Structure formats: C-alpha cells, structure tokens
Amino acid sequence: MRKAFLIVILVFLAAGCATTVRPPVKEDLLSNEDEKIIWRRSLEEQKSLNASVVILQDKNLEDYLDQIVQKLQPEELPPGMSFKVVVVKDPYLNAFAFPNGIIYVHTGLLARMDNEAQLAGLLAHEMAHCTQRHTLRALRSITDKPAFMVSAQQTLAGLSMIQEVVKFLGLTGSMTAVTGYVRELESEADTVGLDYMVLAGYDSYEVLRLFEHLKREIERERITEPFFFGTHPKVQARIDTIMSLLETKYKDKRGGIKNAELFLSKVNQAILENARLDLRIGRFDIAQSGVEKYLRIKKNDARAYYLIGEIYRQRGEEHDYDKALAYYQKAILIDSSYAEPHKAIGLIHYKEGQRVLAKKFFESCLLLAPDTPDKAYIQGYIKKCVNDREG
Amino acid sequence: MKKLLFLILIFIIGCAHGVQKGDSTYHFAVKIPKGWWQLETDKYFLITKDNPYLQYALIQERPIDKAFQHTKKKLERGMLPQEAADVILDEIGADINVLNFELIENTPATIDGHEGFRILFTYQDKNGSTFKTLYYGFIKGNIFYNLRYTAAKRHYFQKDLKTFESFLDSFRLIKSQAT
C-alpha cells in the first residue's frame, strides 16, 4: 500500500520534467486531491530544507524580501497560498518555488544582481509558477506515467556534481529547482511575472539585464551547472520571451523602480557569504568578483580583505602570495584584533622558510585567539620555527 | 555511500587476515586485523569486520593532480598538512552523500613518520543513519595517501576504533616504490 502510494506520488511529481503538455487546463483548480498531495510533500521537503544549515539567517534581508513579494503579489491568491522568500547558502545560480508559495533563492543568484528591480523580476517569475499552479498543471498533462517516472529518476541520479541544497530536497524541490517546467509554462511565468513587476512599478527592463548578465557569465566562466538558471539554453529562452514582451506589450513602459543602493545594502552579507562558498569549491575568480562587489558596498571590512587574501593564498599562482600578504595586512590595519590574517601571514612566511617572521605572526594569532580551532597546527609550526632556529 | 557499497559487494573477494604486502597495485604494506574481511575495489584497499555499512577501514593512494569530484580545489606537492586537510574538508562538505557534516577535530598527525593530518567528523547518509569517520592523510611526492575508518556512530565506531589504530600503526610505505 505504502509502495503504491509512493509510486503515485513519484508519478505526480515527475511532471516537472515533462517534455510535452496538453493545453493548460481550464477547469477549476481548487482543492484537488492531487494538489493536496503535492502540497503535503512540499511541506515535508521544506521542513527538512529549513532545518538544515544551508539557510541564510539574516532577519534584515528576510524582512526586505517579504516587502518585495508583498508589492508584487496579486490581490487574490489561491486558498492557503502565502509567499515567503528563503535565502539558501549555495553559490550556484538558482531560485525555485514550491507550489504553496515558498520561494528559495540561492546566494549565488542574489550575488549576481545589481538592484531590487532585478530581484523583483526573478521573484515575480517564481510567484507566477505558484499562482498559475504550474506543478498541478504539469502533473495533469502526463500521458506516459512510467516514462515520466524514469525521466524523473534519471534527472536526480544524474546530479553527481550536486550542490548543498539538493541534499535536502525531495522530488518536488529537485524537479522545480533543477529541470524547471515545460517551455509553455516557463513562458507563461515570464509573461505573468512581468505583469506583476510592471504593476508594482518596477523597471521591467532590469529583468532582461539580469538574464543577459547571467548568460554572459555562463559563457565567460564556462559555467556548467545542473540548475535551471545556470543552464545556457534556459536563460536564453527567458531572454527571448522577455525581450519579445518588452518590445510589444510593454514597449511604452520604460523606467520605474530600481532601488540599487537599498538592494545592495540589504544583500551585502549574502554576497560575502556567497564569496566564501565559491572559495570553498575552488571557484577563485568568481569568489574574487563577489568580494570586490561587497567591498564596493562596504569599503572597510576586514573580513572581506582577509577573504581576498585567502583567495590568492589558496590559488597559489605566481605572485599570489605577495598579493595575499597585502590584503591580509589591510585586514589587520582595519581590525588589529582579527586573528585569522595573522595566522594566514604566518602560513605564507612559514612556507617560504621565513621562520622568524612566521613565528611572530603565529604567536600573535594565538594571543588574539587562544582557542582557535587550529591551535594544534599553529603550536606545531611555532615549535618547528624554534627548533629550526636552534638547529 | 550506496555506490561505494555496490562496488564493495561487487568486488568482494573473501576473507583474509595477516600481512598484506605491497604489490603492483599498492605501494604500502599493512597488517589486516584478525577476523576482518578484505574487499577489493578498483579505487581502494578496503577492509571490514561485519559489513561496510557498519564499519570499514580503507586506504587510498590518490595522485595529487587527480581532480576532485565536488570542488575545483587541488592538492599540491609541498602543501602543508593543514592546507591538505582544508582541501579534503571542502571536498567532503560538498559531497551529496554527506549530510549534516560536523567536524569534531582537525589536528596534525604523523603516519608512518610522515607529517599529515587527522580529522574526525560525523555525518548522516540519506537514510538518516549517523556515521563517524576518522580520516588520516599525508602527501608523499605526487601521491596523497589517506587512511580512513568509518563506522556507525552508535556502538560500532568506538567498538572497533582500537583495531583501526593498530591497523594504522602497521601501515608502512614501501620505500622502493613510494614516489
């Protein structure tokens, strides 16, 4: 019985990766059993995702995002639907919505945006998926259920370069996050989303700029990500639909709210966090762009200078150590009590055989942070520095 | 984890104990604890007592220029053990099969006289089971050697820890073949 139920769920939820659909359903979409199943499943996935460490805790940003969705949302929403945006600490380009209105945006995508209008454009697209009940419509269009099941399973199984967030997603989230919907439904989300954006007074051309910017970056950095917004053809499709709408339906609607400064002041912590994540996965150039963007907003942040230093030290190409040292020194100049750059300078001198200098910085690190987690390593370096001098 | 289990089951070759000599496949010698099974995969030297889902110890010889699966980071000749540990921690943290990763300890260690690192962490798999891993690593020439002990956190990890420590103590690089 349980197995049969699971199969039914899988078949329903596999709809997200459909390649063909019937025309959109016309009948009343309220309170259907199949929709209830999807919502229940969505809640379970959200619970697991929200309880994980991948959610960015930033109350200031959460409040700001709530304000934006309130501006965008239509007056009437389907029963039980309520919009909420959650930021996920993940450096890859993605945003996705569960059918009950909970939208997840990756820091990777936030870090690429320049203003509130671009963010509004993205959120409006995701909100349109919910208000137009795309998950439900997609599942009702399934004609070959076993084939869809196989397709869904293959999509999930193929995610070998998996990102942090997918670890916590079930099938619903994985489908909406990874494959997106069929072309017709994505185009409808572009159209309806642009309506929401214009009605809220945003500059609708900014959403086009965002997708063009993403496309250029995907090409330049040769980004190959499994997620929807990190996929070249899908971003190109967004550009085509939006451009067509801007040239026709909205050709007289230039200008509107951009809120660049406000946006950057709200997302700056997410940008810095994202740069840390890019560094963790070894995307040094992207990490550097992120920290530089952050530094344009917050000019005197020791953590940001330390992070650029780390990018250079860990990359370790020619002259990188010299550049790293300069950034560590800047960090210390801003905050002399910050232990991390002391340790990092010590490491560089230690590797270069400058034991006296290395010892000095290791000792100052331990003085500033006596309980640093890598205390045992640092004590070992100091001991070696002493032994080498004595030897 | 499931993939690893699958490989293990496929290549299971039977029970062995005694001294495993270095041969054309491996550049080390190690004493297999009595009662443990030696399993062969194309990637690891791996042993278990009950089954790999409950506990296993493995040794891997990894060329340092071999790309990691989950990050773009690299190990390099001359890297400090701490730097190597950081690369490994980032790689483990980015692995889909490692949920709720929690680092307990990251300290320097000596393995067969080679300077390396020792990391201790817990994680969950997709079934919700919690595992604990003790991971030793060091770079010798162009090879990164790692010796790991993973077991179900509850009951099994502590039970076989001493056996793993003896296994670790018996590890020797074969000088003529080690790069």
Residue B49 lies in a domain: yes
A102-106 sheet: strands from edge to edge:
A84-88, A102-106, A95-97
For B96, the closest of A162, A377, A380 (CB atoms) is A162
* ipTM at complex level: 0.84
> How confident is the prediction for chain B on average, in pLDDT?
85
Average pLDDT over residues A138-143: 66
Residues of chain A with C-beta less than 8 angstroms from the C-beta of B93: 280
Residue B121 lies in a domain: yes
pTM: 0.82
Residue type (1 letter), A136 = L
Contact of A214 with chain B, judged by CB distance below 8 Å, is answered with no
A185 contacts A228 by C-beta, under 8 angstroms: no
Report residue A35: phi and psi, to 5°: -70, -35
Whether B72 sits inside 8 A of A347 (CB atoms) is no
> Given pLDDT bands bounded at 50, 70 and 90, which one contains residue A173?
low
**Which of the listed ranges A212-226, B34-48, B141-155 does the model predict with the highest average pLDDT?**
B141-155
Nearest residue in chain B measured CA to CA from A379: B108
Residue B15 lies in a domain: no
pLDDT digits (tens, 9 = 90+) for B120-161: 999 998 788 999 999 999 999 999 999 999 999 988 999 999
Query: For chain B, how many structural domains are there in total?
Result: 1
Lowest-pLDDT range, A216-225, A350-359, A367-376?
A: A216-225
Whether A377 sits inside 8 A of B82 (CB atoms) is yes
Which residues lie across from B15 on neighbouring strands?
Answer: B37
> Given pLDDT bands bounded at 50, 70 and 90, which one contains residue A226?
low
pLDDT digits (tens, 9 = 90+) for A315-353: 989 999 999 999 999 999 999 999 999 999 999 999 999
A203 to each of A62, A240, A265, how far by Cα in Å? Answer: 22, 18, 19
Whether B73 sits inside 8 A of A166 (CB atoms) is no
CA A202/CA A120 separation, integer angstroms: 8
User: In terms of residue numbers, what domain contains B156?
Assistant: 38-172
**CATH for B50:** 3.40.1000.10
CA A282/CA A218 separation, integer angstroms: 17
Residue B126 lies in a domain: yes
Which residues lie across from B145 on neighbouring strands?
Answer: B61, B138
| pLDDT value at residue A332 | 98
In percent, the amount of chain A with pLDDT more than 90 equals: 58
A4: its two tokens = 């049969």
Residue type (1 letter), B84 = A
Whether A377 sits inside 8 A of B72 (CB atoms) is no
Question: Which of A48, A227, A280 to mutate to probe the B interface, most B CBs <10 Å?
Answer: A280
Residue B160 lies in a domain: yes
Residues of chain A with C-beta less than 8 angstroms from the C-beta of B89: none
Which residues lie across from A202 on neighbouring strands?
Answer: A257
Contact of A162 with chain B, judged by CB distance below 8 Å, is answered with yes
Lowest-pLDDT range, A7-11, A116-120, A218-222?
A: A7-11
Whether A282 sits inside 8 A of B90 (CB atoms) is yes
Residue B19 lies in a domain: no
Question: Which of A45, A55, A281 to mutate to probe the B interface, most B CBs <10 Å?
Answer: A281
Pairing of strands B37-40, B12-15: antiparallel
Whether B90 sits inside 8 A of A280 (CB atoms) is yes
Residue B71 lies in a domain: yes
Residue B27 lies in a domain: no
Contact of A167 with chain B, judged by CB distance below 8 Å, is answered with yes
